[in-house]
Amino acid sequence: MSKITVLAEGQITPSDTIVVVLVEPADLPNSIVVHWPAAPTVCDPGAFPDAASAVVKLFAGASTKLASIKAGRRL
């Protein structure tokens, strides 16, 4: 059985959410899985800077949480 930890989750556009998880299977190496929307994300060029910023903030948060987990135990 795998242990799954959500590292970050958030909206990147009004209709699209990204989820980043740490998967720790008992018999395989650990991995990071990024759940992108099922369909392509579409946004107005004027809204793109905000969407890009949301993605960067989400990944930075996931990276920080992973570092915290690694500091507490070896992955």
pLDDT, averaged per 10 consecutive residues of the chain (75 residues), comes to 94 94 95 94 94 96 94 69
Q: What is the pTM of this model?
A: 0.86
Place of tokens 């910023």: 53
The pLDDT value recorded for residue 65 is: 95
- Between the CA of residue 59 and those of 2, 5, 8, 19, 25, what are the distances in Å? 22, 15, 7, 10, 22
Amino acid residing at 20:
V
Q: Which two tokens stand for residue 27?
A: 């018999």
Domain boundaries, the chain: 3-72
Element (H, E) at 22: strand 16-24
